[in-house]
């Protein structure tokens, strides 16, 4: 469910990439939403494992994108 360099931590994984987070106070809903978002990422962003990072941390869903176009598309879709 997480895709980032856990040895370096979230902050030091690909610094400078476009970053966004979604706060979901309900953990069950947050997990469901994270699964939906990952399905969207795999469907819509080419080579997503190379160009994106994600982290499900309880109530915080965090995402990083290498390219601004993917970041903007994500923000427009998921707010």
**What pLDDT is recorded for position 58?**
84
Q: Please, which pLDDT band fits residue 75 given cuts at 50, 70 and 90? A: very high
The mean pLDDT of 39-62, rounded to a whole number, is: 96
Which residue from 11, 2, 10, 14 is spatially nearest to 51, judged by alpha carbons?
14
Q: Please, which pLDDT band fits residue 40 given cuts at 50, 70 and 90? A: very high
**What pLDDT is recorded for position 1?**
81
In Å, what is the CA distance from 5 to each residue of 14, 22, 33, 70, 71?
A: 9, 20, 22, 20, 20
**What pLDDT is recorded for position 31?**
92
∠ CA 65-10-59, nearest 5°, is 90
Interatomic CA distance for residues 30 and 3, integer angstroms = 17
The residues, any chain, with a CB within 8 Å of residue 16's CB and separated by 6 or more, are none
């Amino acid at each position: 469910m997480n895709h980032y360099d856990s040895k370096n931590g979230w902050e030091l994984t690909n610094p400078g990439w476009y970053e966004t987070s979604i706060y979901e106070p309900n953990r069950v809903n947050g997990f469901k939403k994270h699964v939906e978002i990952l399905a969207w990422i795999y469907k819509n962003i080419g080579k997503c494992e190379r160009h994106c990072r994600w982290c499900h941390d309880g109530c915080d869903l965090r995402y990083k994108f290498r390219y601004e176009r993917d970041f903007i598309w994500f923000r427009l879709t998921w707010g």
